[in-house]
Every structure is written in structure tokens, then in C-alpha cells.
A and B are shown apart, each in its own frame.
Chain A
């Protein structure tokens, strides 16, 4: 796993500041996003953490 996906870095930087609870919103959206992409294709450890049960 590398630390080089510009897309993943960009997605991880989203703050969801317009959500009622930004932390929950971030967890919810990014988990769905990275699940859709699939663990095998993710390139950063931080993204993969969203898929852990």
C-alpha cells in the first residue's frame, strides 16, 4: 500500500463542515466511498481504515 493517491488524499481532506455532525458525516460518506472502491484498490492506509469493522 502506497501513500500516493491524490484522490484519496483529497477525499480525506474533506471537512463536511456543512453537516450537522461533521465527524459522523465524514465517517459515513468516506466509508461508503472507499467500500465502493474496494480495499484492494485503495492506496493509502488511512483510507483502508474506514473499511475496518
Chain B
């Protein structure tokens, strides 16, 4: 079956609809629960090929993979050596998928910045709810002065992701570094579009915190979008635990510091 995933992905362009239907079936609960540790690492090695024909499906793969995990740690074998038989477990095998997604993320951002930003938001959402579920899953809706809305879920990431530059963190956290680095240098129109996606679709505190840290250095283009959010009561009140977000206030007012 795993080889068939590769064949379908490699020939994706020949019939994108049929290919997507086949590969999406890997996420059907019955299939996923029984074989995700074999299927999804293979699928996530084929993102480059799929991206060329169906970038929306790449977004879906990010969302669906990060939303799920495998708790089962039953033993699996690596290779067929009779001399040195090595073993792994189902959970560890599946987690290779997260690594593949993280590694591919910069390429996705370069090719499809808006979709990749959506994938980033969805991935972090899945990751936080799965690995760091907040005690209170209460999303605060923030109504901004001009009438638009955004959402904030305090995820306590100032505790479990206190160092934004940690190079040995979880794959999802390394994606935040990739995204921040990309946003720092992205073309103005692509950067604004990405920020608009986050404002419309994100709720996780960690995504807001990382965004506002980058925003400080590009206050000239992000200031008008993010200033009302960063200075809203829920964001100011959430700020009581952290340092990063205030730097944005200074940046907004003074220009890049």
C-alpha cells in the first residue's frame, strides 16, 4: 500500500481529482487508525509533486496531519536485517510525518504564501490542541474599533514555548521560526496577505505572539493592521505574562527599533 501512495502521488497530475480522492482516503478514520504510521510519512514525502498540481490538497494534508496523532506505541520493525534487527514504534513512525511537513514548509511558503499561511495556522491549531490543550478552551472574540473581529485563545505558550529561537523544539514550533523568518523578508503584498489570513483565521496565542514579534521590525506595513489588535483589551490583558508583544507597541509608534 505504501508504494501505491508513491505511485499515485507521482502521477498526480494525470488526474488530480481522482488522485486527491484516493490520497484523501488515507485520512478516513478507519484507515487512519490502523495504518497512519505507515501511510502518512509516505504521503508527506510527496508534497512537492502534489503541490505542483493541487496546492489546496497540500494545505489539507497539513491540517489533517497536525490535527491527529497516534498514541499507540506498539513495536514496529525498521528494515529486514537478520544481523541487526532495529525496531521503532507506531507513534514514533507517525511523527516522521510532522518532520516531513516542517521540512517542506519553507518551500510551500515560497510557492504559495497565502495557502501556506493558512496551513501554518491550521497546523499550529492542531498541534496546540493535541499536545498542549489549554485548561480553558475559551476563545475570546475581539471586536476592533472599525468593526472587524479576531479571536484569541490563551494557550499558555509563554510557558511551553518560551524561547522563540529554540532550535531543538517540536516540529510545529520550528514551523513558527520558518514562518517568522519568511515574514521578515517577504514581499510587501505577500506579507500583508499573510497577516490578513492570520487575523481572519488564527486564534492561538503562540501564532499571535510570534506575529507581533516580527511586526515590530516591519511596523511600516503591519502597523495599521495589527495596532488595533495588539492594543485591544484581551491582548493587553493576556500580555501580563509575556514580554514580546509590547515590543510591537514601541515599534508601531517609533518605527522599526
* B237→A11 contact, CB < 8 A: no
Question: Closest CB-CB distance, B255 to chain A, in whole Å?
Answer: 11
* B240→A25 contact, CB < 8 A: yes
Instruction: Count chain A residues whose beta carbon lies closer than 8 angstroms to a beta carbon of B.
Output: 16
* B231→A11 contact, CB < 8 A: yes
Instruction: Count chain B residues whose beta carbon lies closer than 8 angstroms to a beta carbon of A.
Output: 14
CB within 8 Å for A29 and B250 given contacts A7-B231, A11-B231, A14-B233? no
Q: Bound complex: CA of A29 vs CA of B227, how far in Å?
A: 17
Q: Which chain A positions have C-beta within 8 A of B227?
A: 7
* A37→B253 contact, CB < 8 A: yes
* B249→A29 contact, CB < 8 A: no
Least CB separation from A34: chain B residue: B249
Query: Interface residues of B: mostly helix, strand, loop or mixed?
Result: helix
Q: Which chain B positions have C-beta within 8 A of A14?
A: 233, 236-237
Question: Closest CB-CB distance, A30 to chain B, in whole Å?
Answer: 8
Answer whether residue A33 sits at the interface, using C-beta atoms and an 8 A cutoff: yes
* A33→B246 contact, CB < 8 A: yes
Answer whether residue B38 sits at the interface, using C-beta atoms and an 8 A cutoff: no
Q: Which chain A positions have C-beta within 8 A of B247?
A: 36
* A16→B231 contact, CB < 8 A: no
Contact code string B17-48 (vs A, CB < 8 Å = 1, else 0): 00000000000000000000000000000000
Docked complex: A23-39 residues within 8 A CB-CB of B: 25, 28-29, 32-33, 36-38
23 contacts between A and B (CB under 8 A): A7-B227, A7-B231, A11-B231, A14-B233, A14-B236, A18-B237, A19-B237, A25-B237, A25-B240, A29-B237, A29-B239, A29-B240, A32-B239, A32-B246, A33-B246, A36-B246, A36-B247, A37-B249, A37-B250, A37-B253, A38-B250, A38-B253, A41-B253
Where the two chains meet, the residues of B that have a C-beta atom closer than 8 Å to any C-beta of A are 145, 227, 231, 233, 236-237, 239-240, 246-247, 249-250, 253-254
Where the two chains meet, the residues of A that have a C-beta atom closer than 8 Å to any C-beta of B are 7, 10-11, 14, 16, 18-19, 25, 28-29, 32-33, 36-38, 41
